[in-house]
Chains A and B, each alone.
Chain A
Amino acid sequence: METMNAYHLYLWLIPALPFAGFVINGFLGRKLPKLIVSSVALGAPLASFAVVVRAALMVWPGSGSVALPYVENFAGTWMLAGLLHVDFTFALDQLTLIMLLVITGVGFLIHIYSVGYMTHEDGYWRYFSYLNLFLFFMTVLVLAENYLLMFVGWEGVGLASYLLIGFYFDKTSAANAGRKAFVVNRIGDFGFLLGMFLILAQFGSLSFSQMGSSLANVPGMHGGILTAICICLVLGATGKSAQIPLYIWLPDAMEGPTPVSALIHAATMVTAGVYLIARTHFLFDRSPMALAIVAIIGAATAFFAATVALVQTDIKRVLAYSTISQLGYMFLGCGVAAYSAAIFHLMTHAFFKALLFLAAGSVIHGLSGQQDMRKMGGLRKKLPVTFWTMTAGVIAIAGIFPFAGFFSKDAILYEAFQHGTPGKVLWFVGLVTALLTSFYMFRLWYMTFFGESRADTHPDTHLAEPGLNAKHAHGVHESSWVMLAPLAILAVLSLLGGWVGMDRFGGFLAPVLGPVTVPAHEPGGNTLDLGLSVVAVATAALGWFLADLFYRRKPDRPMAIQASMPGVYTLLENKYAVDEIYGMTIVQPLILFSRYVLGGFGEVGIIRGATWVLGGATTLSGEFVRRWQSGNLRSYAGWLAAGAAVLLIFAASYALGVSGTMIHLNWGGH
């Protein structure tokens, strides 16, 4: 499996450069001038991206000189203990290459944007060091050749996410959100760990290549322990990718700065779960039950999140639920064994979701910190570049031809439809979700940019991002070119990114993810595909139409509907009270248990009790023994006599008792 090449791809540089950026900015950034901090922070991802591009050119099928998969052991053996043998090994194949291009490319653009967005923040250096740290861990995650190294990256991005969500650490809600994200992620990590243990028990190795080859030796093996492994890994994936039941941290994660939301909670970290499933596809292929679970989770989450997004008023919340919903689509794609389609959607989603978040950030920045859409409106003329780029993103996510989202979403829905009767049900759910997606995205679009301005004359004091309002209290203004350039680039990618086409994309990934199960088709070629595409586009158009109806032409209709269905509305607005339900059923009992059982019985009773007993015993025995040392000569003499008596008894009995005769005492002369 190892391919020794004459050309060295220097894969280890890809994580190492952002790590260097983290170290420099982390330790020295406080003292360095902002220019240096920015240069280091931007230079690292740029250099990383350059290495990735060079590697891509060298391995490109047809023109490249290096064969894939390319494996590089950069630091020797990590662990060698009995059954467990884990190396520090990076591997580059087509899937990893795609992920790396997205991570470093989009990551670099977001870094540029952040320079503009975070200009007036305290802790500028801290922000960029965390951001570089995140890049380091994320690249380790996708480059890892075994599960354990991937887990390092997995945990690390969780850590970086915590640090960045809680970036405004003096704000209680931000700190709580960071903690919530980390804890919920941890629950998922537990599943990942269990999966790793099972893998080790079953295959004796955590390395992908060794697992693949040992699995190929047993072609008839299905279900059973493989299903168990897959379900454990899925639990981990739902934590990281914010699916039911562990999605609750993502809406709260919007407390972090907007570029963080763009990078971590839209484009890269949340896709780690999808990547995991795609990477483990050879196990999932053997376990239909696990695939079914993934598909159902995906479809349910997609629909569920879309319904909640319908009524949210915070622009970032809408995008957060939209992310959850789109990740549901990716899970759905994996669940119907269309891994390439899921990765395709991952890529296009990275483009347009990052774009949407950054554009929203631009809007928020322009309004000096306002995030409530009810207070926006009429920004089309005032923020033109932002408007046009966001439009590109909205159309892309709605899945309207010929923008990127159409191709990828269409591929997933097509594959789902092909998957038998349950597949058709999933397709229908996906279609309804597409309708809702289109509706709420255009709702966002209209509320933000169209109509009369509903902004308050007095700036809102209670704003989400503290730095913006305090230092930026002048009127609505377009952002600087530092922020707009990435928007433009991402807009272009959102427009054109889908034109790669599913068959070329699937073909590229085929060596890794297996052949596309349905024979290659051309858009417009296959009748069924054409029909489904038309239905999808029509649904999206319907959503646009409805949004236009409610939010531009008749703005009072939503209010009327809300008044007529207050129960439903409240349910949706409160996100089905899931957080509250979790709080009551899981968190409260845990707190009570910790406080009374562990704290009361365990801590006070057992631990303090044990120390009390030990201490008491020592003190008591000390009191007792103390009396022995009285200084009284006579009592000493008494004890001496007693000791002598005991010794004499022993000696005499020994001497007399030895086989009935005495020890020969040199009787009769010396």
Chain B
Amino acid sequence: MSFETIPGSWYLILSAALFCLGVVGFLIKRTLITVFMSIELMLNAVNLSFVTFAHEWHAVKGQIFVFFVMVVAAAEAAVGLAIIIAVYRSRSTLNVDQIDLMKL
């Protein structure tokens, strides 16, 4: 292992670590918005692994997939935040533990 070349597995392990941190965030965070941020973290971790594989196998489609993931994540973020706003309006709280009923 030289200074110039590092194994692709390191990127993948980094990606896995970020993903697991995202899951942990999902599990321990109590505000709805923060939970949402953890989801974004997970998405980004996956993006990293896609790009890594695209680079290893010289496949452009990997990067295109990342492109699409970004698009979808953007759309999802927009709609999700709108939902969060609506939830806040009706329940006046964003605490995840207190939002457990479909109907008030």
A and B touching (Cβ–Cβ under 8 A): yes
Q: Using CB atoms and an 8 Å cutoff, list the residues of chain A in contact with chain B.
A: 630-634, 637-638, 641, 666-670
CA distance A638 to B58 in the complex (A): 37
| Distance (whole angstroms) from the CB of A635 to the closest CB of chain B | 9
| Distance (whole angstroms) from the CB of B85 to the closest CB of chain A | 17
Most buried by A among B27, B35, B59: B27
Looking across the interface, which residue of chain A has its beta carbon closest to that of B32?
A633
Interface residue B97 (Cβ < 8 Å from any Cβ of A): yes
- Chain B contact patch, size range: 10 to 19
| Distance (whole angstroms) from the CB of B21 to the closest CB of chain A | 13
A-B contact pairs, 19 of them (CB 8 A): A631-B100, A632-B97, A633-B35, A633-B97, A633-B99, A633-B100, A634-B26, A634-B27, A634-B97, A637-B23, A637-B27, A641-B26, A666-B57, A667-B57, A668-B57, A669-B57, A670-B57, A670-B59, A670-B61
CA distance A637 to B100 in the complex (A): 13
Q: Using CB atoms and an 8 Å cutoff, list the residues of chain B in contact with chain A.
A: 23, 26-27, 35, 57-59, 61, 96-97, 99-102
B57 & A632 in contact (Cβ 8 Å cutoff): no
Q: A634-B97, A670-B61 given. 17 additional CB < 8 A pairs?
A: A632-B100, A633-B96, A633-B97, A634-B26, A634-B27, A634-B96, A637-B23, A637-B26, A637-B27, A638-B27, A641-B26, A641-B27, A667-B57, A668-B57, A669-B57, A669-B59, A670-B57
| Distance (whole angstroms) from the CB of B2 to the closest CB of chain A | 21
CA distance A666 to B101 in the complex (A): 47
Contacts of A667 in B (CB 8 A): 57
What are the 6 tightest A-B residue pairs by CB atom distance, in nearest-first order?
A631-B100, A670-B59, A637-B26, A633-B96, A632-B100, A641-B23
| Distance (whole angstroms) from the CB of B95 to the closest CB of chain A | 10
Contacts of A631 in B (CB 8 A): 100-102
Contacts of B96 in A (CB 8 A): 632-634
Contacts of A634 in B (CB 8 A): 26-27, 96-97
CA distance A630 to B100 in the complex (A): 7
Contacts of A630 in B (CB 8 A): 100
CA distance A668 to B96 in the complex (A): 46
Contacts of B26 in A (CB 8 A): 634, 637, 641
CA distance A630 to B102 in the complex (A): 11
Contacts of A632 in B (CB 8 A): 96-97, 100
Looking across the interface, which residue of chain A has its beta carbon closest to that of B97?
A632
Most buried by A among B23, B35, B58: B23
Most buried by A among B26, B61, B96: B26
| Distance (whole angstroms) from the CB of A358 to the closest CB of chain B | 84
Contacts of A637 in B (CB 8 A): 23, 26-27
A669 & B58 in contact (Cβ 8 Å cutoff): yes
CA distance A632 to B57 in the complex (A): 42
Looking across the interface, which residue of chain B has its beta carbon closest to that of A666?
B57
| Distance (whole angstroms) from the CB of B38 to the closest CB of chain A | 9
Contacts of B97 in A (CB 8 A): 632-634
Contacts of A666 in B (CB 8 A): 57
Contacts of B35 in A (CB 8 A): 633
| Distance (whole angstroms) from the CB of B51 to the closest CB of chain A | 15
CA distance A207 to B26 in the complex (A): 83
Contacts of B61 in A (CB 8 A): 670
CA distance A669 to B59 in the complex (A): 7
Looking across the interface, which residue of chain B has its beta carbon closest to that of A645?
B23
Contacts of A668 in B (CB 8 A): 57
CA distance A609 to B15 in the complex (A): 58
CA distance A634 to B38 in the complex (A): 13
CA distance A652 to B13 in the complex (A): 15
Most buried by B among A630, A633, A638, A666: A633
Contacts of B100 in A (CB 8 A): 630-633
CA distance A666 to B23 in the complex (A): 30
CA distance A668 to B102 in the complex (A): 50
Contacts of A641 in B (CB 8 A): 23, 26-27
CA distance A253 to B52 in the complex (A): 101
Contacts of A633 in B (CB 8 A): 35, 96-97, 99-100
| Distance (whole angstroms) from the CB of B42 to the closest CB of chain A | 11
Contacts of A670 in B (CB 8 A): 57-59, 61
CA distance A638 to B24 in the complex (A): 9
CA distance A637 to B35 in the complex (A): 11
CA distance A634 to B100 in the complex (A): 10
| Distance (whole angstroms) from the CB of A166 to the closest CB of chain B | 64
| Distance (whole angstroms) from the CB of A305 to the closest CB of chain B | 84
Looking across the interface, which residue of chain A has its beta carbon closest to that of B61?
A670
Looking across the interface, which residue of chain A has its beta carbon closest to that of B100?
A631
CA distance A637 to B23 in the complex (A): 8
Looking across the interface, which residue of chain A has its beta carbon closest to that of B102?
A631
CA distance A637 to B61 in the complex (A): 31
CA distance A668 to B97 in the complex (A): 48
Looking across the interface, which residue of chain B has its beta carbon closest to that of A668?
B57
CA distance A669 to B56 in the complex (A): 8
